[in-house]
Structure 1
C-alpha cells in the first residue's frame, strides 16, 4: 500500500506552518522580554541623581551579573540596546507582532522620527524581512523619495492614508540596482541589464516600490506593419495602470523620449481598459539632461519619467548633495 503524495504534502504543510508559528511566537516573546528589560533599566536609571553616570554604572553592573549566567545576549551592548528600544518605543501597543528583534535593532538606529515612521509603515505594509529593511535603509529609500516629494506626502502614502496619484510619489530617482551584481566600471548592453533585472526580478520589484507586478519582457507590438519591442512591462495596482520601462545604458536623447511616448500612446489606445488610468513610461538610464526631458515632453506631462540607475549603494553624502541640487534647481525655477 502506498500513501497518496497529496496527503504527504498536506502533512508537510501542517508541520511547516506550525514551525513558522512557533518561531514567530518565540520572536514575539523575546521582543517583549527585551522591551520589559529596557523599561526596568530606564525607570531604575531615572531614580539616580546623576542619570548619565548612574545609567552607565547600572548597565555595566547588570551585564556583569547576567552575562555569566545567560550568555552574550545580555552583554553591556545588548542591555544598552534594550534601553534604547524602550526609549524609542515607550508604548507597548506600538510594537508590531510581525517585526522581530533584528527589525527593531535596525529601526532604533534611525534618529529622525519621521524617517523611522516611514520605514515602520513601509515594513508593515510590505512585510519586509529584516534583511530587506536594512537594504532599503542602506539604499536611502526615504531620501530618494524626498527628491521629488515632501515629507508629508511620502509619509501619507507609506501609512496608506491616501492612494498615490502621481508616479513621482512611488518612483525613485535614482534607482539603486546593486543587487544585480554588475560592476559599475564596466560597459553593458541594454540586453545585459534587462537580463540581470529578470534574473533578480523579486529584488527589482522591491526597488520599484509598492503595488508592482511583472507583465512581460520584450513585448512585441505591431503598428501598421512595423514591429517594435518594449523592454519591460509592469502593472501597478495602486495607480491602476500599466508601467512601461525602457532601458538605456547611455545618456538619454530626445529620440529615446519620443520612442517611449509612442509605446505609452499605444498602450493607452489598444491595451488600457476604460476603468484603468493612463499608462506610465519610465526611461531607466545612466544619465539624463533634465532640461532636455522637460522641453521634449508636454508641460502638463505626468506619464513619462526619466530615472537614473546606479549599480552601487549611494553614500549619505551623495544623497545630501543630490537633495541640495534639487532644492537649488527649484529655487532657480521659482525665481525665473
Structure 2
C-alpha cells in the first residue's frame, strides 16, 4: 500500500503535539502544587504569628520531613520560594498555564508589579522560552520602552489592549545586541555588524519585538542610473508598514539621516500599497547626538528614528539614569 507522505506527517504531528501537551499539563500541575504548598505554609504561619521564629521553624520541619521522601524540590530554600510564590500571586486564577515554574521563579525576583505584569503579558503573547524571557529581563526591555513611553502605554500594548500607533511604542533605544558576541572595544565595519545580525537573525527579531518579519538585506533600488542599497528591510504587521534599517558604526550625522529619508520616501512612493501605513526608517548607530536628530528632521517627524546600539547588556542604573534625564527634559519643556 502506497500511503502519502502527508498522511504520515499528520500522524507524526499528532504524536508530537500530544506529547507537548502532556508535558505542559504536567508542568502546570507542578506549578499549581507549589502554589498550594506555599498557600498552606503561609496560612499555617499566620496561626503561629505570635512567635517570630515560627516561620523558619515550620520551613525547616517540613523540609526535614519531606526531602528524604520526595527529593531536593522540598529543601528549605525551595519551600521558601513556594511561600513567596503564593504571597506574590495570592489569586490562583491569575496563574498562566503557558508559564512554567522556572518562568515564575525568574519573575519572583522582580519587585515592581508593573514590570512583572509586563513580562508575564509579553511571555504569554510571544510564547517566550525561559531563556528568551530571562534575556529580555536582563536587557532591561521594560525600562528601555519607558524611555519613550509611559507605563500605561507600555502595559496596554503588552496586554493587547491597544494596537501600536507610534513607532516609538515598538522601536527601542538603545537596541541591545549582546547576542552578536562582538567585543565593544573593537572597531567594526557596517558589513561586519550586518553579517552578524543576519547570522543571529532569530535573536535580532526577538530584540526588535512584536510583529517583525525579515524581508531583505542590501535591498537594491535604482534611481535614474544610480544604484543604492538599503542595509536591512523588515515588515511590522502591527504597525502595518515597512521598517528600513541603515547601520552606521560611526557617530550619526545629518547626511546619514538624509540618506535614510530618501530610502523611506522611495518605499512610500514605490513599494507601499494603499492600505499600508507610512514607512519607518531606523538609523542604527554606534553613537548619536539627539540635537542633530531633532534639527535635521521636521518637527512633526514620525518616519525616521535613531537608535543607538549596544554590544553589551546595560545595567539597570544606566537605564534609570536615562529615564531620569528624559523626565527632566519633559519637565523643562512644560516650564517653557
The answer, yes or no, to whether TM exceeds 0.5 is yes
Q: Which residue of the partner structure matches residue 217 of structure 1? A: 217
TM-superposed deviation, 1:2: 8.0
Q: Distance in 2 between matches of 1:65 and 1:155?
A: 43
Number of positions where the alignment pairs a residue of Structure 1 with one of Structure 2: 336
Q: Which residue is 2:134 aligned to? A: 134
Unaligned runs of 5+ in 1: none
Which segment is superposed worse, 318-327 or 217-226?
318-327
TM-score, structure 2 normalization: 0.96
User: What does 1:151-190 correspond to in 2, within 5 Å?
Assistant: 151-190=151-190
Equivalent position of 1:63 in the other structure = 63
Unmatched runs of 5 consecutive residues or more in structure 2: none
- Work out whether residues 175 and 310 of structure 1, in 8 Å CA contact, stay in contact via their aligned partners in 2: yes
Q: CA RMSD in A?
A: 1.5
User: C-alpha distance in 1, partners of 2:277/2:151?
Assistant: 26
Matched with 1:194 is 194
- Preserved CA contact (<8 Å) 1:45 1:51: no
C-alpha contact 1:212 1:237 (8 A) present in aligned 2: yes
Partner of 1:296: 296
Distance 1:321 1:51, change over 3 A: farther
Cα distance, 1:224 vs structure 2: 1.6
Cα distance between partner residues in 2 of 1:318 and 1:23 = 40
Matched with 2:260 is: 260
In 1, the alpha carbon distance for the partners of 2:306 and 2:142 equals 19
Give the deviation of 1:148 after TM superposition.
Answer: 0.6
SS in structure 2 at match of 1:309: strand
What does 1:5-24 align with in structure 2 at a 5 Å threshold?
6-24=6-24
Q: Does 1:273 align with 2:287?
A: no
Report the equivalent of 2:228.
228
Q: Does 1:145 align with 2:121?
A: no
Structure 2 CA distance, aligned partners of 1:15 and 1:237?
32
* Alpha-carbon distance in 2 for matches of 1:3, 1:161: 47
Once the two structures are superposed, what CA deviation does each residue of 1:267-309 show, in whole Å capped at 9, x if it has no partner? 0101111111100000001100000000000000011100001
